[in-house]
């Protein structure tokens, strides 16, 4: 039998339907691969017994003709989604041992459609980071290797680094991610996989550990556009339990993948051609433009004049929202409590949070607290919200001239663990191309489009109009075909050899 872990979700569903293999066999193949790839540290919690039980039930459903759209497919769930009866940590010490008694809407939707959960994937603590090096449970390693520095372990990107690493290493067929400023798209780019941040409100936030509620959005990560489209269809939909979940019908995203992009207007924002942009990234972008032009799309130069203010605005808004959201970790209702004899309530709060949160989380809570405090609220927080409107307006204006926007996903290839940590701002720059899209609430995806001269994957980003995931998926599939990205990460080429 061929290695089942190399199949796409779509191929695996065909195989299951044709009785080429069972979900138990498919799931076991992934559990075995997970055991071989432990050193990547992609999972915080593995749930093999539960997975096999779910796979058995799936096989039974399929034999009875009751299979759902993802029935029997082994997936990983980012450890930010609450999972009933399975530890959910947000990669933070403060939530270590927290076992939810309920299921997040998004992971529940996947289970409803028959998915098998392999485990919970690591992330930057509370999804704050771009390298997956801030997890309390250790760094996650990218399965790809820089061929000119083969000894260096590379970051998978972040915050959904565990999910990206797992999907690239073939130890999950797909995974959930969340994206507040680039946390699905940047790790997808670093690990050579595909990831979509849907329109804000497309997927319910209920049961997802909150970071910045006006920006957080769940989405799928997988190895093809078609697989992402299939997962998104399952994950999306109105949920009365999230007041910002949109009461909109979910289109059949896979049915919309027609590959006909003739006449579509592709916007190229001049402000994204930034000073110091690497030649490689620039070349990849030009290649993407050429592919779409060849397919009959019209290339349009556009301007998003407030682009350079997106990151600083984000680093006011996101920490402000985080400082309120993370106020709930008080050592009373769940998670860690640090309380010594004679301590009063305030001592307990302060000690619990000092020990429970890592450095980056503390920095963001304190920045958020500062910009919301009396005397600074207008100067920082309200100012940033005004900039946010200008950024959203930039996109509205641009979409009068184009249908989709094409940009690079990230300013670099995957870097080595430990790099870009000299000061917090260096790390923040990873999200320079992705963060505006969250501020504007638009859908965006990253698709692997080529390899760097170091042999590492590089992604292109497509940004759509609100609620128009269908068009970026269609254009994304065209890039997928043109790029024919078949390279495998080191961990899998070594295995195959």
Partner 1 sequence: MSAIDIETVKKVARLSRIRVTDEEAEKLAPELNGILTWVEQLGEVDTDNVEPLPSSAEITLPQRTDLQTDGDCQDDILANAPETLEGFYVVPKVVE
Interface with partner 1 in residues 207-266 (CB under 8 A): 214, 240, 243-244, 246-247
Q: Which is nearer to partner 1, 344 or 486 (CB)?
A: 344
Q: How many residues bind partner 1 (CB under 8 A)?
A: 73
324 in contact with partner 1 (CB under 8 A)? no
- The reply to whether 159 belongs to the active site is yes
Per-position x/- string for 377-416, each x denoting binding to partner 1 as judged by CB under 8 A, each - no binding: --xx-xxxxxxxxx-x------------------------
328 in contact with partner 1 (CB under 8 A)? no
96 in contact with partner 1 (CB under 8 A)? no
Residues 409-468 close enough to bind partner 1 by CB under 8 A:
423-425, 439-442, 466
Q: Which is nearer to partner 1, 283 or 308 (CB)?
A: 308
274 in contact with partner 1 (CB under 8 A)? no
Residues 31-90 close enough to bind partner 1 by CB under 8 A:
none
Residues 352-381 close enough to bind partner 1 by CB under 8 A:
353-354, 357, 362-363, 365-367, 369-370, 373, 376, 379-380
Region near partner 1 per CB under 8 A, out of 31-39, 65-73, 286-294, 302-310: 302-310
Q: Which is nearer to partner 1, 145 or 306 (CB)?
A: 306
- The reply to whether 278 belongs to the active site is no
Residues 155-214 close enough to bind partner 1 by CB under 8 A:
200-201, 214
Q: Please tell me which residue in 23, 159, 165, 245 is annotated as part of the active site.
A: 159
Q: Please tell me which residue in 58, 165, 183, 245 is annotated as part of the active site.
A: 183
State the SS3 of the chain. CCCHHHCCHHHHHHHHHCCCCCHHHHHHHHHHHHHHCHHHCCEEEECHHHHHHHHHHHHHHHHCCCCCCCCCCEEEEECCECECCECCCCCCHHHCCCCCCCCCHHHHHHHHCCCEEEEEECCCHHHCCCCCCCCCCCCCCCCCCCCCCCCCCECCCCCCHHHHHHHHCCCCCEEEEECCCCCCHHHHHHHCCEEEECCCCCCCCCCECCCCCCCCCEEEEECCHHHHHHHHHHHCCCCCCCCCCCCCCCCCCCCCCCCCCCCCEEEEEHHHCCCCCCHHHHHHHHHHHHHHHHCCCEEEEECCCCHHHHHHHHHHHHHHHHHHHHHHCCCCCCCCCCCCCCCCHHHHHHHHHHHHCCHHHHHHHHHHHHHHCCCCHHHHHHHHHHHHHHHHHHHHHHCCCCCEEEEECCCCCCCECCCCCCCHHHHHHHHCCCHHHHHHCCCEEEEEEEECCCCCEEEEEEEECCCCHHHHHHHHHHHHHHHCCCCCCHHHHHHHC
CB of 246 to partner 1, least distance (A): 6
Q: Which is nearer to partner 1, 306 or 478 (CB)?
A: 306
User: Which of 344, 484, 496, 497 contacts partner 1 by CB under 8 A?
Assistant: 344
CB of 30 to partner 1, least distance (A): 29
Q: Which is nearer to partner 1, 231 or 246 (CB)?
A: 246
- The reply to whether 183 belongs to the active site is yes
Residues involved in catalysis: 78, 159, 183
């Amino acid at each position: 039998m061929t290695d089942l872990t190399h199949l796409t979700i779509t191929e695996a569903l065909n195989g299951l339907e044709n009785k080429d293999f069972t979900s138990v066999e498919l799931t076991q193949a992934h559990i075995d691969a997970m055991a071989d790839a432990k050193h990547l540290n992609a999972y915080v919690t593995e749930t093999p017994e539960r997975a096999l039980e779910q796979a058995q039930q799936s096989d039974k459903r399929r034999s009875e003709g009751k299979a759902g759209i993802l029935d029997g497919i082994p997936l990983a769930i980012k450890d930010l989604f609450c999972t009933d009866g399975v530890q959910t940590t947000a990669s933070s010490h403060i939530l270590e041992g927290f076992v939810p008694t309920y299921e997040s809407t998004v992971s529940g939707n996947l289970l409803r459609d028959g998915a098998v959960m392999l485990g919970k994937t690591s992330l930057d603590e509370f999804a704050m980071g771009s390298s997956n090096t801030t997890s309390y449970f250790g760094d996650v390693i990218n399965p790809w290797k820089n061929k000119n520095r083969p000894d260096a372990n590379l970051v998978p990107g972040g915050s959904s680094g565990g999910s990206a690493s797992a999907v690239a290493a073939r130890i999950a067929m797909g995974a959930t991610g969340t994206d507040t400023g680039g946390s699905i798209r940047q790790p997808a780019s670093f690990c050579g996989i595909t990831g979509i941040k849907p329109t804000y409100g497309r997927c319910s936030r209920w049961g997802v550990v909150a970071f910045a509620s006006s920006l957080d959005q769940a989405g799928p990560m997988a190895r093809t556009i078609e697989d992402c489209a299939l997962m998104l269809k399952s994950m999306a939909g109105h949920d009365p339990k999230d007041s910002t979940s949109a009461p909109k019908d979910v289109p059949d995203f896979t049915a919309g993948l027609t590959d006909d992009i003739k006449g579509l207007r592709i916007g190229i924002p001049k402000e994204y051609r930034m000073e110091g942009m690497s030649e490689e990234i620039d070349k990849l972008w030009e290649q993407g433009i050429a592919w779409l032009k060849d397919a009959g799309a019209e290339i349009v130069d556009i301007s998003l004049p407030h682009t350079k203010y997106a990151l600083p605005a984000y680093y006011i808004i996101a920490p402000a929202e985080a400082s309120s959201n993370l106020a709930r970790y008080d050592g009373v209702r769940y998670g860690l409590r640090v309380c010594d004899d004679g301590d009063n309530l305030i001592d307990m709060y302060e000690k619990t949070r000092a020990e429970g949160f890592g450095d980056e989380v503390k920095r963001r809570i304190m920045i958020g607290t500062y910009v919301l405090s009396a005397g600074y609220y207008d100067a920082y927080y309200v100012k940033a919200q005004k900039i946010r409107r200008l950024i959203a307006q930039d996109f509205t204006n641009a979409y009068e001239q184009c249908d989709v926007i094409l940009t690079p996903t990230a300013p670099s290839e995957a870097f080595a663990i430990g790099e870009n940590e000299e000061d917090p701002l260096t790390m923040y720059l990873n999200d320079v191309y992705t963060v505006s899209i969250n501020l504007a609430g638009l859908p965006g995806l990253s698709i692997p489009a080529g390899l760097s001269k170091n042999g590492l994957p590089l992604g292109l980003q497509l940004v759509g109009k609100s609620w128009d995931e269908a068009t970026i998926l269609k254009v994304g599939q065209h890039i997928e075909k043109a790029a024919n990205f078949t390279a495998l990460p080191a961990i899998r080429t070594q295995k195959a050899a």
